């Protein structure tokens, strides 16, 4: 199944807000992490649209596996 840009952005925004509320993490940081990983591997989009936040628990959305740069403790 394919998803529109609007659907994907709505899912990213919704999940980042919900996770941030529960964890106290910045939602913009979480949204960026989702975009980074999905940009690296667009084949994950369909799974992301159904599984969502479970992908964080499974370790799919780790900063070091994304396409965009991130701040780590090592600089």
How do residues 14-65 score in pLDDT, each as one tens digit? 999 999 999 998 999 999 999 999 999 999 999 999 999 999 999 999 988 9
Whole-angstrom distance, CA of residue 66 vs CA of residue 35:
8
Is the separation of the CB atoms in 8 and 34 below 8 Å?
Answer: no
**The model scores a pTM over 0.75:** yes
Burial environment of residue 15 by CB neighbours within 10 A (0 to 12, 13 to 18, 19 or more) = buried
Is the separation of the CB atoms in 19 and 56 below 8 Å?
Answer: yes
The DSSP code for 58 is: T
């Amino acid at each position: 199944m394919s998803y529109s840009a609007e659907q994907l952005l709505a899912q990213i925004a919704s999940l980042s807000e919900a996770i941030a509320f529960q964890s106290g993490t910045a939602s913009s940081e979480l949204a960026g992490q989702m975009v980074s990983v999905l940009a690296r591997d667009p084949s994950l989009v369909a799974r992301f649209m159904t599984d969502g936040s479970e992908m964080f628990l499974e370790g799919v959305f780790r900063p070091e596996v994304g396409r965009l740069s991130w701040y780590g403790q090592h600089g």
